Chain A
Amino acid sequence: MKVTIDGQEIEVEAGTTILQAARMIGGESVPPAMCYYSKLKGSGGKCRCCLVEVAKGSDADPRPMPKLMASCVTGCMDGMEVNSKQSDRVREARQSVTEFLLINHPLDCPVCDQAGECDLQDLSFEHGKSKTRFIEEKRTFEPEDIGPNIQLHMNRCILCQRCVQVADQLTDNRVHGVMDRGDHANISTCISKAIDNEFSGNMIDVCPVGALTDKTFRFKSRVWFNKPYNAHRECTTPGCCGKTTVWMFGDEIQRVTGRKDVYHEVEEFICNSCRFEHKDPSDWVIEGPREFDKDSVINQNNYTQKLDTVHIATEEGILKGREQDRKKISMPAIPLDKEQEEIFKKGNL
């Protein structure tokens, strides 16, 4: 089947959604997705960020679709023509959704652990406005403790329901779900049960915002100060691949996550033991630095990008900071040569 998205043609198999086709093309036309997750069945359709305009239904029925369609749940038809970023209507709709997502979302990025790798941050960077029209009081929820490893911060939740799907599809005894309805719908266990299944930590990885964060990493570091490395270990948990990204600060592993691809989706799910209990570098075989493809706050000082040098005439070097800090923060060259690897294992590069 042939589909055209923003003027770019691609051949896809039957059953492919518009979003998947756009991802095959890549680049600017890929709609943002806050709730769709290719590894979770039944996800998508809810956040309405990925709306696209179908200008031509198919070769058989060329009529345009009157409403904007959620690209993550709309299947491609042969000869379909789709406008994504190209269309004003689509851009406007995405701006609207972004505004709606933000009206009740706390603007607490400076203290949120997700900041830097937050999909909502990226979305508002692209589609948001710097001013709000919402002068009402923001909605808040009572905090709930869901166990020693995962921090639930309901005020930040955008109800993508990915975490519920993780619990449904990866674990057998789901204890949390969506409670109440309307704008007071919330993720909860209702009776404050700890979510302690071996795979529950994946809820953190799939959460697009800072609603579910890693308690063992809480307030330890801004994510962009960590150096991510691909690492693996022999994991004995059935179903766990043992392949992770470890986030290091100096010689300390501050956080372990799944390996996330360009769309912030983990490649494979990992178990809680890998995630929360193995923070010693000797537990892991380090493969090398983790590359980021997607442009976002987190890779602004990444080695893969050529950075513009900023010249501020006032005080020479004031932005560069202290020599010893810069060593910790900046990225090493890849791949590490033998000597560097040795140094790395011992501590600072």
Chain B
Amino acid sequence: MERTHYKQEINMTETLMSRINELISHYPEDKRKSALLPVLHEVQDAHENWLSYELMDKVAEILHILPVEVYEVVTFYTMYNTKPVGKYMFEFCQTSPCCLKGTEDLMDYTCEKLGVKVGETTADGLFEVRGVECLGACGYAPMMQLGDFYKEHLTEDKIDQLITDCRDNKIILHDK
């Protein structure tokens, strides 16, 4: 399947590289490939939450593997994005235990509020609403993932508050 190509500015900072090297050191020397998943997380977090093919090639080079091995992995796992995404991604868990607690209604509410459909990004590139599968917080439903964190026991008011906080830049996405 041919895929659309998106351009991305690659910036492998020193902090990023030292973290990558630390991750690689967690595995035996001849098993650098094992570090692929954690490294991709770090690289993606440092590049606006998505990975271009150029960036994946870069990761392949660092880990001494073929680019296609990185593509295979990136497309398999749902947490890696291969195209630009909204800065604040509201990833609602939409598996049954959460649905029992009204996730579907809450997703409709959020979509309406932001003026997007599920899977779309707002025009300003700030928000994206997604439905994802079980996040392991069934008892605290309805809930969503925002960056590295979970927002649980959601209500319409809490969603409003979150949207305001995001707009005001008060939300921390990654704990680095």
Distance to closest chain B CB from A278 (angstroms): 30
Contact of A180 with B75 at beta-carbon distance under 8 Å, contacts A190-B3, A191-B53 already known: yes
Residue count of chain A within 8 Å CB distance of chain B: 21
A181 touches B2 (CB 8 A): no
Name the residue on B nearest A143 (C-beta).
B2
A177 touches B69 (CB 8 A): yes
**A interface secondary structure, majority:** loop
B124 interface contact, C-beta 8 A: no
A16 interface contact, C-beta 8 A: no
A144 interface contact, C-beta 8 A: yes
Distance to closest chain A CB from B3 (angstroms): 6
Distance to closest chain A CB from B96 (angstroms): 19
Inter-chain contacts of A262 with B (CB < 8 A): none
Range, interface on chain B? 10 to 19
Inter-chain contacts of A194 with B (CB < 8 A): none
A180 touches B76 (CB 8 A): yes
Which residues between 56 and 93 of chain B lie within 8 Å of chain A, taking CB atoms?
Answer: 66-69, 71-72, 75-76
B68 touches A189 (CB 8 A): yes
Q: Contact check: which of A154, A174, A175, A181 meets B1 at CB < 8 Å?
A: A154
Contact of A190 with B76 at beta-carbon distance under 8 Å, contacts A143-B2, A154-B1 already known: no
How far is it, in angstroms, between the C-alpha of A177 and the C-alpha of B68 when the chains are bound?
Answer: 7
B53 touches A179 (CB 8 A): no
How far is it, in angstroms, between the C-alpha of A175 and the C-alpha of B57 when the chains are bound?
Answer: 12
A141 touches B71 (CB 8 A): no
B1 touches A188 (CB 8 A): yes
Counting from the closest, the 10 A-B pairs by CB-CB distance are: A179-B75, A190-B71, A177-B72, A144-B2, A177-B68, A142-B1, A180-B75, A141-B1, A181-B76, A186-B1
**20 residue pairs from A and B, CB less than 8 Å apart:** A142-B1, A143-B2, A144-B2, A174-B68, A175-B66, A175-B67, A177-B68, A177-B69, A178-B72, A179-B1, A179-B76, A180-B75, A181-B76, A188-B1, A188-B2, A189-B68, A190-B3, A190-B68, A191-B71, A192-B2
Residues of B within 8 A of A (CB): 1-3, 5, 53, 66-69, 71-72, 75-76
